[in-house]
Structure 1
């Protein structure tokens, strides 16, 4: 039997409870205590009715937060919460199931060495990260002082995080434990139907992009990204990109859905992007192939969607169309590449970053300079000129002056005089993590055929489709891209843990930021097929 730690969370809606239980109106403090006692009675009744109550090792509750340790199977745990959600029509329990550790209030409870010896959990203090904040509805049973404290705390958090430089994307922060479970899918199917952003998603062939917007004092929202900005990504944001297409011999719509993580995207944003990608997949009846893309490490498929990819520094609110021209922040763009593709990236406005072999654009808002290094190639110059023309078209009819400067011809002093950004003003000095692993392809198998999940190396070197087995999950690492292949006859446990094992595997490699694609047997894409024969 599995030992599972379950963390439960319930939400009381005071207005409905008040109608049914005649909660006194004289004191909000009294209402809190009455609701607390009522919830205690409800939970006791649920446990009494639960047929596997002997498998509950321990349970604790504080207000609407609960912690439960169970020596039970996942099916038995699901039965408990199905029973709980039938107990009261105005009371809804939501929960997370953890195999090894769980957070309850200010403690992190986990299976340490003592658990393996005497089945006793260890615990340590836990402090919520300042990047995140959770809210209570005004109708919930809490005193007014609680909400006043929330406002003060959130303002303080915004001040603190505003003074802290954005950190680069840390793949170790990602939490994929919610992926794949039945309850998670059921919740997303219901939630996806309520997400307004998906109403027009995937109706016809083409590209659609949404940005994850974080409102400091409110919530995170999915918003449509303007078509004129397709291909431009701010490194402080996360995005969802949906490609809808048809095969030549069919009218059926097919999909690839990518979540793109900016270098300085917050944990709130990229976690929401990952979650919403799965939600969109569910909305489209699990038809899309899911992909993870990290800035600077995009897959070949992702790059084919755009004529060029441009990395803008900061967040979308700092764009030209959203500020007055006189307030526009100057930007320096670096163009580097060849006939196979030119990458455009915003860099610090500092002379030390100028290379004589590339092209640069200095965007001052109403005056744009193009600087052609003496060693730059034709593709870089043409792409830069196209970019200048697109910038002029975006300026909403404003008079924009452009100047093209060639290093060989001289007269470039005016360009360098504007490269006055101070060291470390906005950009991190840390370089992007590049994949230097050139070893052979590796194929791993995830299987529970022996009674428990086992992750093992299946093969090194050339991999063919015959090496995959529809009864299990396989993780195929080409060192440039990682594929999670899910067989049609996999078990629920294998399917649920596929992305978790892939994520944890990448964390221990020298190439944790490479693209990740999740494929079902029979729905393999071109990138996967090419990797098999590469």
Structure 2
């Protein structure tokens, strides 16, 4: 099938908006000075600001290490994982850009652009991943052994400063939930009220000086254990300067008071496992001013070095970039993935991974598709 260029973000490449974004990115006083130079994890948050005249003023700010694994739903982030080669002294990189469910389109665009900028800085060799809140890949989740926590709003709502030396933690309620299938449990911030509780999940109340866990009547052992693990990690991070109450009883007045009083508990929420979609493969190009998406046989033999290939594996989509593909095709591969998912009627929360020709061994899941 052929898609008119105006139906994809390719229409913006070379446009005034595109040039303005590039000029803004170039003017930002930020340097990837130590990015990817040593093994480890590095995270940057996309800043979304506007001037008094409503002109965009975007940037990237290093995310504090003590906040690693915590992401605001209203923000977007770039995560760089640097590892050593199994043989030799070389370095390998994975670039993830994480999109919160409440993150703006502006932030998404800057995150994707800066991820490509970092990719270029590292010689175009990283495996690049688009991650969506609540649907992250196993590769992304494994970067955070202590788990992932989702915070409400943007980073500006994170903490209240009291005086000059103290931080007053905002009381937060988290829902620990394991989605069907192989996905690990996630820790979502939910409204601070009793009606947020349900019988099917575990919950954690972080009141700063006290950390509580509460379990629904039909909670799974996995969710119960995960909530205890998160609570212990919080306790340890505060050097034990808080009380830990695991398994709140019905008569714990402080717990229920923090939720606005005890009320009716909601029933368990049933999740339906998504059926695996039919796997498909497409060859993509942008010749003649149009984006051409050609359905081909799902086979390694269909991969063409002078093209970009899109492999729709259902819950995951892979973009394979041939060594001889054009620069434009390489650039639009990740930047317009949302438009492709829409055109191919794929869920916009689908994980997307970009794999360069010759680096397939770095992405074992891609090899299992064929």
TM-score (norm 1): 0.56
Q: Whose RCO is larger (CA < 8 A, sep 6+)?
A: 2
Q: Which residue of 2 is the match for residue 352 of structure 1?
A: 195
User: For the structure 1 residues 499 and 176, does the alpha-carbon distance in structure 2 shift closer, same or farther, using more than 3 Å as the test?
Assistant: farther
Establish whether residue 383 from structure 1 lines up as the match of residue 217 from structure 2. no
Larger Rg: 1
For residues 373 and 311 of structure 1, the distance between their equivalents in structure 2, rounded to whole angstroms, comes to 20
Q: Which residue of 1 is the match for residue 130 of structure 2?
A: 292
Number of aligned residue pairs: give it: 345
Q: Which residue of 1 is the match for residue 354 of structure 2?
A: 518
CA RMSD for the aligned pairs?
A: 3.7
Contact 2:355/2:363, CA 8 A, preserved across alignment: no
Q: Deviations over 1:353-401 (max 9, x none)?
A: 3222322111222222221334334433333233223333444x69423
CA offset at residue 213 of structure 1? 2.4
CA offset at residue 529 of structure 1? 3.2
Q: Which residue of 1 is the match for residue 170 of structure 2?
A: 329
Establish whether residue 400 from structure 1 lines up as the match of residue 242 from structure 2. yes
Q: Which residue of 1 is the match for residue 41 of structure 2?
A: 207
Contact 2:125/2:356, CA 8 A, preserved across alignment: no
CA offset at residue 500 of structure 1? 5.9
Contact 2:25/2:59, CA 8 A, preserved across alignment: no
User: For the structure 1 residues 220 and 412, does the alpha-carbon distance in structure 2 shift closer, same or farther, using more than 3 Å as the test?
Assistant: same
Q: Which residue of 2 is the match for residue 443 of structure 1?
A: 281
User: For the structure 1 residues 310 and 527, does the alpha-carbon distance in structure 2 shift closer, same or farther, using more than 3 Å as the test?
Assistant: farther
For residues 193 and 248 of structure 1, the distance between their equivalents in structure 2, rounded to whole angstroms, comes to 38
Contact 2:280/2:312, CA 8 A, preserved across alignment: yes
For residues 290 and 227 of structure 2, the distance between their equivalents in structure 1, rounded to whole angstroms, comes to 56
For residues 292 and 167 of structure 2, the distance between their equivalents in structure 1, rounded to whole angstroms, comes to 60
TM-score (norm 2): 0.79
Establish whether residue 316 from structure 1 lines up as the match of residue 151 from structure 2. no
3-state SS, counterpart of residue 247 of structure 2: strand
CA offset at residue 192 of structure 1? 6.8
2:86 to 242, 248, 263: 248
CA offset at residue 327 of structure 1? 5.6
For residues 299 and 481 of structure 1, the distance between their equivalents in structure 2, rounded to whole angstroms, comes to 9
3-state SS, counterpart of residue 479 of structure 1: coil
For residues 494 and 320 of structure 1, the distance between their equivalents in structure 2, rounded to whole angstroms, comes to 42
Uncovered stretches (5+) of structure 1, i.e. residues with no partner: 1-98, 102-171, 422-430
CA offset at residue 478 of structure 1? 0.7
Establish whether residue 469 from structure 1 lines up as the match of residue 304 from structure 2. yes
3-state SS, counterpart of residue 196 of structure 1: coil
CA offset at residue 467 of structure 1? 2.5
Q: Deviations over 1:192-231 (max 9, x none)?
A: 7975341110001111111112345483321111222211
3-state SS, counterpart of residue 323 of structure 2: coil
Q: Which residue of 2 is the match for residue 276 of structure 1?
A: 114
For residues 194 and 451 of structure 1, the distance between their equivalents in structure 2, rounded to whole angstroms, comes to 32
Identify, as 1 or 2, the structure richer in helix: 1
For 1:47-62, what aligned pairs fall within 5 Å after superposition? none
3-state SS, counterpart of residue 469 of structure 1: coil
Q: Deviations over 1:440-490 (max 9, x none)?
A: 10101124689975322113xxx3322312232211011111111121222
Q: Deviations over 1:94-146 (max 9, x none)?
A: xxxxx966xxxxxxxxxxxxxxxxxxxxxxxxxxxxxxxxxxxxxxxxxxxxx
Uncovered stretches (5+) of structure 2, i.e. residues with no partner: 262-268
User: For the structure 1 residues 328 and 528, does the alpha-carbon distance in structure 2 shift closer, same or farther, using more than 3 Å as the test?
Assistant: closer
1:267 to 86, 94, 105: 105
